[in-house]
A and B are shown apart, each in its own frame.
Chain A
Amino acid sequence: MNRSEILRRRAKELLSKGEVKMVVGYCASSQPGVAQPFFATTPEQAEQLIFDATCSQNLANFLLKVKNIGRVAVVAKGCDSRSIVVLLQENQIQRDEVHILGVGCEGVIQNGERSVSCRVCEYPNPLIYDEMLGEQAAQQAADTAIRMADEDFTRLTPDERWRVLSEEVSRCIRCYACRQVCPNCYCPVCFVDASMPQLVGRTHNISDNMVFHIMRALHMAGRCVECGSCHRACPMGIDLMRFNRRVAKIVKERFNAVAGIDITTPPALTRFSPEDAQEFIK
């Protein structure tokens, strides 16, 4: 039985026994190669659930949306499960509210290509789950081209780096799809909407666009699981993973922390050590 079939069987069982009120998963959309988040509340609806390489969205995002329904089951890839860990650590959801249906993932395919985030994924299997649906996914070799491109980038001069990144974010139309699709972005009032004082301008001025992306990346430090949902959601094709990979690297190298892999270790920026490196401080 493939993962979709196991998922459908289990979803039907969980729903008909009343163990969960809803199964949050994916279904096919009207477009080939694109899946839609799907919310099955009856065994009949569960028949539409699928799991394959088109399942791109991070479903942990929807756990906050359906909080008041009751106990829900959620399909979780490796990255999604890490997001669930972060949400649990931040007390946004309770462990007994979710029944995690773990799935191994070989990578999301968008527009015929394996998504950038998946090409360097180190956690294809869920780290937290109530049951696994089918086979574990094999760990695939990381795309060295991406790593090398990142390293090459650091060797550019500051001016060149600024030029490359500001050109990238110049396309940003401030639609906030990246923010909305991210499970970590759940602030009732986002910093972009703050007024009195206004923290960042609302026009797509390069300076404001850069501040938006720098600050969102910073707010993700120690929390971003590099699922790539933001990158795939961007209607303007901005390479958001560059920022996220960099922040994750900074957190890993400085604080030896990776988001969402150990529920007992709070996120890196919520704690500190008297021994933290301070070579950059005069």
Chain B
Amino acid sequence: MKNRIISRDELAQLIDRLVERVDVYAPVREKNGANWGKVGSANEIYLEAVNTHEPAKGFLFPRCEMILKFDQSGNAVEPGLPQEQVVFGIRPCDARALMVLERFFTSEGKTDPYVQARLEKMTIIGVACNRTAPACFCLALGNSPHSSEGMDVLLTDLGDVFLAEPRSEKGEKLIAGLAEAEVKHLERRTELKERVESEITGRIDTTRLKENLPKMFDDPVWERLSLPCINCGACTFLCPTCHCFDVTDETVRGNSARYRVWDSCQFALYSRHASGHNPRFNPAFRYRNRVMDKFYYTTEQMGLISCVGCGRCITVCPAGIDIRQTVATLLSFIDSTER
């Protein structure tokens, strides 16, 4: 696959052409930054923010999705197939998260048909990060602000032009016909990559975490760590990889619809059994669950850490909790008990 370069004008034209055919979603200006919006033209796109307020998971796994309609006579209607859409301007952490979600929803030989349908109709054009925010920590987990995982094309802003690197057939077809990239472009990209990567200095020993977290399950350290947590769903809902859901039926005067809606392991009733027993009645257990899921359970289930280091849970937490601090406390605890 050939790396190409695309000028700002060419990029605007490409987007305007796409907008005529399909729905294009991109970061748009919002009160305190940027968030996803459907764009009608390239000049609505806003790439100056480090990242969008909400992650891109809603494109694959919407907050609320109608999966069936039925009436009292048993006439059922399934939802129509999703439309083609382009997700433009996604950052490497969020694109990696889409890959994690795809892995989750197609794991153990089962495929979620709704997620699968959306994925097939989606073109993902990412933009590399040339700067980070204080809460970013993708590199701490071995990811990179210039990674192209989960994307069809990765664009890197070199200043005068964008470098366009295809990562799939879909991506290659999209940028075919553009001028090829030269060595100087790739060198400039390397320069930018090294500069931005130097902004994230922390490192998390995910291997040691993975090995020791299961041993710490019953440790009283979780009671202490979880004290400031109020068990709202903010972190889980704004996390690009959190994927728990509930299925709920609602009826209005005889017409019913079945919805899949986001759920959160932080909600008290999330783990309540039909018998009434709730293994995570204690809020500390719910806090523990999220940390263990991100850094251990998903490694067992899917072979990867599902935290991508986007930092949204840190900035959105009403109690100012920093998952990096939690993990550091756990690691130092592991250190002190090992000695």
Asked whether A57 lies within 8 Å of B314 as measured between CB atoms, the reply is no
Count residues of chain B with CB under 8 A from any CB of chain A.
Answer: 38
For the complex formed, measure the closest distance between the CB of A255 and the CB atoms of chain B, giving whole angstroms: 30
List the B side residues contacting A35 at CB < 8 Å: 320
B245-268 interface code vs A (CB 8 A; 1 in, 0 out)? 010101000000001011010011
A174 to B234, CA, bound (A): 9
Partner-binding segment picked from A124-132, A196-204, A273-281: A196-204
A140-179 interface code vs B (CB 8 A; 1 in, 0 out)? 0000000000000000000000000000000001111111
**Is residue A270 within 8 Å, beta carbon to beta carbon, of the partner chain?**
no
**Is residue A235 within 8 Å, beta carbon to beta carbon, of the partner chain?**
yes
For the complex formed, measure the closest distance between the CB of A236 and the CB atoms of chain B, giving whole angstroms: 8
Contact of A177 among B64, B268, B318 (CB under 8 A): B318
**Is residue A39 within 8 Å, beta carbon to beta carbon, of the partner chain?**
yes
Asked whether B320 lies within 8 Å of A235 as measured between CB atoms, the reply is no
**Is residue A51 within 8 Å, beta carbon to beta carbon, of the partner chain?**
no
Contact of A237 among B31, B232, B319 (CB under 8 A): B31
Partner-binding segment picked from B145-153, B214-222, B300-308, B321-329: B321-329
A224-239 interface code vs B (CB 8 A; 1 in, 0 out)? 0000010011010100
Contact of B267 among A176, A181, A233 (CB under 8 A): A176
Count residues of chain A with CB under 8 A from any CB of chain B.
Answer: 38
Asked whether A31 lies within 8 Å of B32 as measured between CB atoms, the reply is no
For the complex formed, measure the closest distance between the CB of A44 and the CB atoms of chain B, giving whole angstroms: 14
Asked whether B321 lies within 8 Å of A175 as measured between CB atoms, the reply is no
List the B side residues contacting A174 at CB < 8 Å: 233, 261
**Is residue A251 within 8 Å, beta carbon to beta carbon, of the partner chain?**
no
Contact of A65 among B63, B246, B283 (CB under 8 A): B283
List the B side residues contacting A184 at CB < 8 Å: none
Partner-binding segment picked from B101-109, B174-182, B223-231: B223-231
Asked whether B228 lies within 8 Å of A177 as measured between CB atoms, the reply is no
List the B side residues contacting A37 at CB < 8 Å: 227-228, 319
Asked whether A29 lies within 8 Å of B283 as measured between CB atoms, the reply is no
Asked whether A202 lies within 8 Å of B232 as measured between CB atoms, the reply is no
List the A side residues contacting B268 at CB < 8 Å: 188, 193
Given A177-B318, A181-B318, the answer on whether A39 and B227 have CB atoms closer than 8 Å is yes
Asked whether B246 lies within 8 Å of A111 as measured between CB atoms, the reply is no
Given A202-B246, A203-B261, the answer on whether A36 and B320 have CB atoms closer than 8 Å is yes
Given A36-B320, A203-B250, the answer on whether A173 and B237 have CB atoms closer than 8 Å is yes
A37 to B224, CA, bound (A): 12
A65 to B324, CA, bound (A): 24
List the A side residues contacting B321 at CB < 8 Å: 29, 36
List the B side residues contacting A204 at CB < 8 Å: 63-64, 261
DSSP majority for the A interface?
Answer: loop
For the complex formed, measure the closest distance between the CB of A56 and the CB atoms of chain B, giving whole angstroms: 8
For the complex formed, measure the closest distance between the CB of A199 and the CB atoms of chain B, giving whole angstroms: 12
Given A31-B320, A173-B237, A203-B259, the answer on whether A180 and B232 have CB atoms closer than 8 Å is yes
List the A side residues contacting B31 at CB < 8 Å: 237
List the A side residues contacting B248 at CB < 8 Å: 201-203
Given A31-B135, A31-B314, A204-B64, the answer on whether A233 and B234 have CB atoms closer than 8 Å is yes
A277 to B64, CA, bound (A): 43
For the complex formed, measure the closest distance between the CB of B79 and the CB atoms of chain A, giving whole angstroms: 14
List the A side residues contacting B64 at CB < 8 Å: 203-205
A79 to B311, CA, bound (A): 31
Asked whether B227 lies within 8 Å of A65 as measured between CB atoms, the reply is yes
Asked whether A180 lies within 8 Å of B231 as measured between CB atoms, the reply is yes
List the A side residues contacting B231 at CB < 8 Å: 180
Q: Which residue of A lies closest to B228 (CB)?
A: A37
**Is residue A212 within 8 Å, beta carbon to beta carbon, of the partner chain?**
no
Asked whether A31 lies within 8 Å of B233 as measured between CB atoms, the reply is no
**Is residue A30 within 8 Å, beta carbon to beta carbon, of the partner chain?**
yes
Q: Which residue of A lies closest to B270 (CB)?
A: A193
List the B side residues contacting A120 at CB < 8 Å: none
A246 to B230, CA, bound (A): 26
**Is residue A34 within 8 Å, beta carbon to beta carbon, of the partner chain?**
yes
List the B side residues contacting A62 at CB < 8 Å: 227-228
Asked whether A111 lies within 8 Å of B228 as measured between CB atoms, the reply is no
A232 to B319, CA, bound (A): 10
Asked whether B269 lies within 8 Å of A202 as measured between CB atoms, the reply is no
**Is residue B238 within 8 Å, beta carbon to beta carbon, of the partner chain?**
yes
A62 to B228, CA, bound (A): 8
Q: Which residue of A lies closest to B323 (CB)?
A: A30
Given A36-B228, A202-B246, A237-B31, the answer on whether A31 and B234 have CB atoms closer than 8 Å is no
Q: Which residue of A lies closest to B230 (CB)?
A: A180
List the A side residues contacting B237 at CB < 8 Å: 173, 175, 235
User: Which positions in B face A, CB cutoff 8 Å?
Assistant: 31-32, 63-64, 134-135, 224, 227-228, 230-234, 236-238, 246, 248, 250, 259, 261-262, 264, 267-269, 283, 314-316, 318-322, 324-325
24 of the cross-chain contacts (CB-CB < 8 Å) are A30-B314, A31-B135, A61-B230, A111-B32, A175-B232, A175-B233, A175-B236, A175-B264, A176-B232, A176-B233, A178-B232, A179-B232, A180-B231, A181-B232, A188-B268, A193-B267, A201-B248, A202-B246, A202-B248, A205-B64, A232-B318, A233-B318, A235-B316, A237-B32
